[in-house]
Amino acid sequence: MKKKYVNILVCVGMLLATFTSFGYPTASAQPPAVPSEPIPSPGSSSVTVFVDLEWAGGEQNVSFDIYFGVENPPPLVLTDVLEPKYEPERLLLNTTYYWQIVSHNSLYEYTTGPIWNFTTAGNQPPFKPTVLDGPQNAGKNIPLEFVTVAPDPEGDKVMYQWDWGDGNVSDWYGPYEFGEQTTTTHQWVENGTYEVKVRARDDSGKQSGWSKAYNVTIQPQVELSNCKPGYLYFVFLTFDKTYGYIYSLDLLGISLIISTGGMRVNAIGSDSVHSVVFQMQNKFLEDQRWNATSINETGTVYEGYFYLNDGLYETSAYAYDSAGRLIDRASRQYVIYYEWKFILLKQLLGLGAT
């Protein structure tokens, strides 16, 4: 009888060992920790409508059920979430929300956390804009582009108004989508240093303050150093000299170039100039226009070279900064170019009259 009793105990032990090896659940002495350290903190106010919920209690093999909404207690919105974080859709303004986390472990045990709450902010004005990009040095009467952006706390569309520092304040431009950069153009008619500022307004009419000033200095950035009105130039192969000043040419606002086939245009740029594009335009034939580009590699001197037929021309130098933005333009009103025809010079100056 005693032997039979021992055999029964051994069989029961083997069965228990077998059940355990097949993974039958057993009771745990440590259920999941209570969810804690909520973000936002309980009772918070003026919370952004784009808030993400976070909490502590994310040890290994733990998942979460999330309860969230405007009711108390809140409804279930997600189950078996593995990360201690929840990203709700955009929330309502000035509204109290309730939320609760239930933790589960792999043994089907769970721990229910407390119910937390927070209140979202009312409508807020856009953040102060920042002038992200724009030339800091340029010449007069050159349209300059400036870039800005001002995110809105509620993700509203935004409009912008510019103060150009010269007495001109723009209209409200927009609206633009949340986070969208916008470009605006302005030109100054007088030399000087100007403080450019911009502010933002959302769909509800809430305005930001003015941005930090962005200083722009307006002064000449490029200057043509030859082809001056009133002067006569001889260009023969490597010979390129100024012959002299003629008052009658200056009255006409022109210079006269007598050449065997080409002419050189020189310009001096400021430190802000990276490249210069020279343009020669026939004043009578609009389709006759030529460009020559000079890159600043060794200093501030730029040169363009042209082969032209006889005619009346205007030459211009367009100065660009390192970002490829046009920052100034210089022109000689007219340039007359003749190819080795001295008799025309005599007729122009009246030297051939008897």
Percent of all residues in the chain with a pLDDT value above 90, rounded to a whole number: 58
At position 317, the amino acid (one-letter code) is A
Mean pLDDT across the chain: 85
Helix (H, G, I), strand (E, B) or coil at 321: coil
Nearest-angstrom CA–CA distance, 97 and 49: 11
The pair phi, psi for residue 353, each rounded to 5°, is: -75, 145
Question: In the prediction, which pLDDT does 353 show?
Answer: 44
In order, the DSSP letters of 153-185 are: TT---EEEEEE-SSS-B---EEEE-TT--EEEE
Burial 142-172 (b: 16+ CB within 10 A, else e): bebebebbbebbbebebbbbbbbbbeeeeee
Query: Residues 162-183: what's their mean pLDDT?
Result: 95
What residues does 313 pair with on adjacent strands? 282, 335
Topology of the domain covering 31-120: Immunoglobulin-like (2.60.40)
* 299 or 144, greater pLDDT: 144
Indicate whether 284 pLDDT > 90: no
* 102 CB-contact burial (10 Å; exposed 0-12 / middle 13-18 / buried 19+): middle
Topology of the domain covering 130-218: Immunoglobulin-like (2.60.40)
Query: Residues 232-257: what's their mean pLDDT?
Result: 81
Question: In the prediction, which pLDDT does 283 show?
Answer: 80
Query: Residues 168-182: what's their mean pLDDT?
Result: 94
Indicate whether 251 pLDDT > 80: yes
Query: Does 222-349 match 130-218 at the fold level?
Result: yes
Q: How confident is the model at residue 341 (pLDDT cuts 50, 70, 90)?
A: low
In order, the DSSP letters of 246-291 are: -HHHHHHTEEEEEESS-EEEEEEE-TT--EEEEEEEESS-TT-EEE
* 103 or 28, greater pLDDT: 103
Helix (H, G, I), strand (E, B) or coil at 198: strand
Question: How, if at all, do strands 239-245 and 289-295 pair?
Answer: unpaired
Q: Residue 304's closest CA among 314, 312, 313, 294?
A: 294
The number of residues making up the chain comes to 354
Topology of the domain covering 222-349: Immunoglobulin-like (2.60.40)
Question: In the prediction, which pLDDT does 194 show?
Answer: 98
Helix (H, G, I), strand (E, B) or coil at 59: coil
Question: In the prediction, which pLDDT does 349 show?
Answer: 56
* 351 or 247, greater pLDDT: 247
Question: In the prediction, which pLDDT does 17 show?
Answer: 47
Cα torsion 318, 322, 324, 328 to 10°: value is -30
Q: Which two tokens stand for residue 326?
A: 């046009």
- The tens digit of pLDDT for each residue in 21-57 reads 444 444 555 889 999 999 999 999 999 999 999 999 7
Indicate whether 342 pLDDT > 60: no
Question: In the prediction, which pLDDT does 18 show?
Answer: 45
Which of 168-182, 260-274, 304-318 holds the top average pLDDT?
Answer: 168-182
Nearest-angstrom CA–CA distance, 339 and 274: 33
* 208 or 308, greater pLDDT: 208
Domain ranges (residues) in the chain: 31-120, 130-218, 222-349
Nearest-angstrom CA–CA distance, 155 and 191: 40
The pair phi, psi for residue 301, each rounded to 5°, is: -100, 135
Q: Is the pTM of this model over 0.75?
A: no
- The tens digit of pLDDT for each residue in 61-84 reads 899 999 999 999 999 999 999 999
Query: Residues 199-206: what's their mean pLDDT?
Result: 94
Question: In the prediction, which pLDDT does 350 show?
Answer: 56
Query: Residues 167-183: what's their mean pLDDT?
Result: 95
Q: How confident is the model at residue 16 (pLDDT cuts 50, 70, 90)?
A: very low
- The tens digit of pLDDT for each residue in 118-161 reads 999 999 999 999 999 999 999 999 999 999 999 898 889 999 99
Question: In the prediction, which pLDDT does 162 show?
Answer: 98
Query: Residues 254-266: what's their mean pLDDT?
Result: 81
